[in-house]
Amino acid sequence: MKKTLISTIACITVMTAVLQAGAAEKLTLMLDWFPNVDHLPIYVAREKEYFEKAGLDVKIMSPSDTSDSLKLAMAQTVDLAVGYQPQTIMAAAEGLNPRVVGRLVEHPLTTLLYMKDKDISSPKDLEGKKIGYTVPGMMDLLMAAFAKRNGIESYEAINVGFTIIPALVSGKVSAVMGPFKTYEVVEMEHQGIEAEYFELEKYGIPDYDELIFLASPQTVEKRERAITAFSDAVQKGIDFARANPEEALELYFKALPEADRRMETDAFEATLPYFAKNQENDRSRWETFADFALEAGLIEKAVDISPLLTR
């Protein structure tokens, strides 16, 4: 009798586990770039089972092109995308109506990057030069606004996509708009290349959230509970990383064993202070950037940011 009871309890336990596993809600997430420490809290959330405990099964994917993530989210090919605040405002001005469902990095990391000893000391020194950009439809427009604000009257814009450092080293371009001061600058240092850069927020571009999570209006309507659970789990990943940086980094390397351990350790140290402190959007900052975008010619019509922000 006792043996039968134990067997019955064991079967129930196994069945419960199977049912719970089967009940996990699947979400697909498209990154903005190849996986790197900018995305570390997402991987921490997965490795610490924050997603699983929230009833989620999150599939993380990398884009084949730098402008893919927003487009795929809006087409509902993926549920969520890592994107950028400027890109979101530009998309809204074009009538795409993306929804901001969470935050990852809460201040600008983007720079106008160039190599040291190239006779560049001020933005005006880029007059007439070839300037690369990383994300079509955003970084080229941001470069145009930067040029307008800093008196650069002519330059040639070239899409370099992911090939930032090769484009600089080969002389294909004199500078690139889009690299992060916490990543590509560190990567160049590890390659023995001295880098210099202009921080956008110090040259006329307002403060903004560098990395955010986006979804289509239809996906938000259908998957609101899962999306909220996702962003809350990511915030737990951020909080864990801030409190336990060494352990968080090891979890990241466990998830991505092919990562350059030495370089990404330094990049993580530089990035950690910029991760979002919470998942609440600062509406005043969004309004300030939207006003700037209109004035600077990034967008052709005013954007009401209220429908964009879900939190």
Q: Are 251 and 47 in contact (CB under 8 A)?
A: yes
Beta strands 211-215 and 99-105, pairing class: antiparallel
CA-CA distance, 271 to 275, in Å (whole number)?
7
CA-CA distance, 121 to 127, in Å (whole number)?
12
CA distances to 79, 91, 224, 242, 306 from 99, rounded to whole Å, are 11, 10, 11, 27, 10
CA-CA distance, 2 to 285, in Å (whole number)?
65
Domains along the sequence of the chain with CATH: 2-107+209-296 (3.40.190.10), 110-202 (3.40.190.10)
Q: What's the confidence (pLDDT) of residue 286? A: 97
User: Which amino acid, 177?
Assistant: M
Picking from 94, 71, 100, 51, the residue whose alpha carbon sits closest to that of residue 211 is 100
CA distances to 72, 136, 156, 159, 169 from 129, rounded to whole Å, are 33, 19, 6, 14, 15
Q: Are 279 and 102 in contact (CB under 8 A)?
A: yes
Token pair for 177: 């708009």
Read off the pLDDT of residues 287-296 as tens digits, 9 standing for 90 and up.
Answer: 999 999 999 8
Read off the pLDDT of residues 97-152 as tens digits, 9 standing for 90 and up.
Answer: 999 999 999 999 999 999 998 999 999 999 999 999 999 988 999 999 999 999 99
Q: Which helix (H) or strand (E) holds 111?
A: strand 110-115
Residue found under tokens 């560190």: 186
What single string gives the DSSP state of each residue in 147-186?
HHHTT----EEEE-TT-HHHHHHTTS-SEEEEEETTTHHH
Q: Which long-range contacts (CB under 8 A, 24 or more apart) does 19-24 make?
A: 23/55, 24/52, 24/55, 24/56, 24/57
CA-CA distance, 42 to 230, in Å (whole number)?
9
Q: Give the chain's largest Cα–Cα span.
A: 89
CB atoms within 10 A of CB 117: 8
pTM value is 0.88
What is the chain's pLDDT, residue by residue, as a tens digit (311 residues)?
444 444 444 444 444 444 344 578 999 999 999 999 999 999 999 999 999 999 999 999 999 887 789 999 999 999 999 999 999 999 999 999 999 999 999 999 999 999 998 999 999 999 999 999 999 988 999 999 999 999 999 999 999 999 999 999 999 999 999 999 999 999 999 999 999 999 999 999 999 999 999 999 999 999 999 999 999 999 999 999 999 999 999 999 999 999 999 999 999 999 999 999 999 999 999 999 999 999 988 999 999 999 999 98
The distance from CA 98 to its chain's CA centroid, rounded to whole angstroms, is: 15
Picking from 288, 310, 309, 290, the residue whose alpha carbon sits closest to that of residue 301 is 290
